[in-house]
Every structure is written in C-alpha cells, then in structure tokens.
Amino acid sequence: MTAERWQEIKFHIKENFGIEDEYEEDLDPGLAEVIQFTGPRGKMLARFVTRPKLLDKKTSFSNRVGSNVKVDYVYSPDETASHVEMYSWSEQKDDWVKLDSESLL
C-alpha cells in the first residue's frame, strides 16, 4: 500500500461518509494514521500503518527447563512497509473488531 493510495481511500471516505475523528498513533516501531467514520457497518475505523521493514528475527534460548526466550528484531533503517487495517465497532464486545478482506467485499 502506498501513501498515495491511502490518500485516495481517505478522500473517498471523507466524500462519502465524513470523518468524525482523525489522529496518529505511535507504534513501537512505526506510526499509524487513524480515521474514524460512520460507514455502511456503523461506526468504523481505518488505520494506515507504516513500519520499518523487518530484516531479521534472532531468537535466543536455552534447552533448560524454565529458561527464558528472547527475540531480537532487526529493522531496516531506510525501508518501510505499509498496510491498511479496517475495524468495525462491536456493541457486544464493546471494542473494535478487525475486519478481514473477505468481509469487506
């Protein structure tokens, strides 16, 4: 997902539904641009997540019983990866429920 495509999606949502709230969230590592709106499924949320590209995952462990496992992530200093996440508000759970791509179509 590119930033230009995200701007197109955001413009489409603004034109058709109107944006109720717009803010940014700091992720560890990365950044998420969030918009809330009332869509065809009621209260909805769209997140454009941009994170550094994951280059390597190093796992440190011991075969002893009760030992700890440590995972170190190595991120690219200049490459990023982006994607969009869509959520719908669930009154039953009183929380956001992530929508998969099949349920959107």
pLDDT of residue 8: 94
Q: Tell me, what's the pLDDT at 36?
A: 95
DSSP of 46-80: EEEEEEEEEEEEEEE--SSTT---EEEEEEEEEEE
pTM: 0.80
- The average confidence (pLDDT) of the chain is 90
Residues 42-87: tens digit of each pLDDT: 899 999 999 999 999 999 888 888 788 999 999 999 999 999 999 9
Cα separation, 1 vs 8, in Å, equals 11
Cα 84 from Cα 79, distance rounded (Å): 17
Domain boundaries, the chain: 3-52+79-104
Q: How far apart are CA 55 and CA 99, in angstroms?
A: 27
Measured distance CA(12)–CA(64) in Å, rounded? 55
Residue 27 has pLDDT above 60, yes or no: yes
